[in-house]
Amino acid sequence: MTRRNILKSRRIVIKIGTSSLILPNGKINLSNIDELAFVLSDLNNKGYEVILVTSGAVGVGLNVLGMDKRPADIATQQALASIGQVELMSLYTQMFRRYSQKVSQLLLTRDVTDFPTSRENAENALSALLSMNIIPIVNENDAIAVDEMDHQTKFGDNDKLGAIVAKLVDADLLIMLSDIDGLYDKNPTIYDDAQIFREIHEITDELREMAGGAGSRFGTGGMTSKLSAAQILFENRQEMVLTNGARIREIREIIAGKEIGTYFYRK
């Protein structure tokens, strides 16, 4: 079955998680980053407006320093994010340059989107970059983001950031790349009879209970955060596809309307 609504999509946000950028051994997944650069550059050449929301700064920082475990204290995590962000953008710049595609970097904190003037500035910057055929690469500014009672600057996770960026630019579609093929009724790594949901039209309490759990040792997101991102999009009448980041080239098939992953949209 063709997902006909998706065929109309021209402005697309791609969110890639840490699990798609970092291998299980902690090394950087260079082939995935290269494929991502190729596919997004190809889409841009074909007239699509593309924004990349990336995780991975802390994971890359761990790799740079040869650490195999995410530290518990916030200050060290912030330092790792600062170190990793430089290396991550260097990799993206190199990979996209192979396909003659220019990219830019935007680091956001939650207060930027909470305050009208700051939000407008972010919207204007993103719009200007898209009009110049540049692919903006967005990440949370993890090196300085905090989450205190009187000044919350953390988005919480980059799944939510992906949805907020999609809302900021009024995107037609958010494609969320994860370490799983879509949303299942139970954990497919444990249960052989797990069934994938091809379409979701409402985020219910039952779905949230089913999702449960956190993310990988390199990332912070889990299925619950993806449902929260979908809820943000539902409120803005936008759409999302959750699919596996191990198969980057399927992005083009998703945009062509092929039934891949789980499609979140309100009827």
Please enumerate, by residue number, every residue annotated as part of a binding site for ATP. Answer: 15, 178-179, 220-226
Amino acid type, 129: L
Q: Alpha-carbon distance 124 to 26, whole Å?
A: 37
* CB 160, CB 227: distance < 8 Å: no
Strand partners, 239: 173
Q: What are the structure tokens assigned to 46, written together?
A: 């074909």
Distance, CA of 79 to chain centre:
22
Provide the annotated binding site for substrate: 55, 142, 158
What contacts 45, CB < 8 A, 6 or more positions away? Answer: none
Integer CA distances (angstroms), 258 to 4, 31, 80, 116, 201, in order: 9, 24, 39, 38, 18
Provide the annotated binding site: 15, 55, 142, 158, 178-179, 220-226
DSSP state of 196: B
- What DSSP line would sit under 119-187, residue for residue? HHHHHHHHHHHHHTT-EEEEEE-TTT--EETTEE---SSHHHHHHHHHHHTT-SEEEEEESSSS-BSS-
Q: What are the structure tokens assigned to 253, written together?
A: 């098939």
